[in-house]
């Protein structure tokens, strides 16, 4: 589980900066509530997920990461270029090195496991973790 620490936030649904295992990330704050901004400090029971607005195919995603990189490269604001490896399907989960997160696209194709991919992350989101959520942190 990654240590997540809030640095600052503009409030719910707005920009925030967090530290994840010593790396500063810009995210959308879905932890704060309208009546209370999330305070600075270590956060418990949170996870990071992402939204991808584009409709890239798995073949395109695989073609775009032929070098096998694992990283989150900032684009602007809370947008990133994510390079990683698919570790499971149903749901598709990608290991980006710093974070392992489910991809919003669905697949049952087991041949995707172990494939290196690149995805555009339009919005990296910090949100509360619930008992049924995966992965944590």
What pLDDT digit, counting tens, does each position of 18-39 carry?
Answer: 999 999 999 999 999 999 999 9
The candidate with the shortest Cα–Cα distance to 19, out of 101, 119, 99, is 99
Look at the chain and report how many structural domains it folds into.
Answer: 1
pTM of the model: 0.91
CA 52 to chain CA mean position, Å: 10
pLDDT above 50 for 109: yes
Residue 53 lies in a domain: yes
Q: Looking at the chain, how many residues does it have?
A: 137
Residue 79 lies in a domain: yes
The number of beta carbons lying within 10 Å of the beta carbon of residue 103 is 23
Residue pair 94/119 in contact by the 8 Å Cβ criterion: yes
Residue 43 lies in a domain: yes
Phi and psi angles of residue 131, each rounded to the nearest 5 degrees, phi first: -55, -35
Residue 137 lies in a domain: no
Residue 134 lies in a domain: no
User: What's the domain range around 51?
Assistant: 4-128
How far is the C-alpha of 58 from the C-alpha of 110, rounded, in Å? Answer: 12
Percent of the chain topping pLDDT 70: 94
């Amino acid at each position: 589980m990654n240590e997540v620490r809030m640095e600052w936030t503009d409030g719910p649904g707005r920009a925030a900066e967090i530290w994840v295992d010593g790396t500063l990330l810009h995210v959308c704050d879905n932890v704060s509530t309208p009546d209370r901004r999330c305070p600075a400090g270590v956060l418990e029971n949170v996870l990071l997920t992402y939204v991808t607005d584009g409709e890239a195919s798995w073949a395109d995603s695989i073609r775009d990461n032929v070098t096998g990189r694992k990283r989150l490269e900032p684009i602007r604001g809370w947008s990133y270029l994510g390079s990683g490896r698919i570790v499971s399907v149903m749901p598709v989960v990608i290991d980006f090195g710093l974070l392992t997160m489910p991809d919003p696209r669905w697949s049952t194709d087991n041949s995707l496991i172990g494939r290196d991919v690149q995805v555009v992350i339009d919005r990296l989101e910090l949100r509360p973790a619930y008992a049924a959520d995966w992965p944590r942190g």
